Amino acid sequence: MPHVVIKCFKGRTEEVKQKCVDKVAQDVAELMGCDLSSVSVSVKEFDKEEWKPQVWDKEIAPEMDSLYKKPGYTCD
């Protein structure tokens, strides 16, 4: 039962977010070998000034060693 959380800056349309969610869900189901109905995806949006304290400092930086895809930027 894969669950994916997409965190991003605010400002994208509902159509863009839905297309992204649909693509991610399809790819996850295919690659993980599960039914599409088993995949859930959420989108959580942040203001730019919230990114570092809410996402980088709490979730990205502390988990850097376990990230399969590391970001190509820093928040120093």
DSSP secondary structure code for residue 72 in this structure: S
CA distances from 27 to 22, 31, 56 (A): 9, 6, 25
Contact assessment for residue 4 and residue 28, using Cβ atoms and an 8 Å cutoff: yes
**Residues assigned a catalytic role:** 2
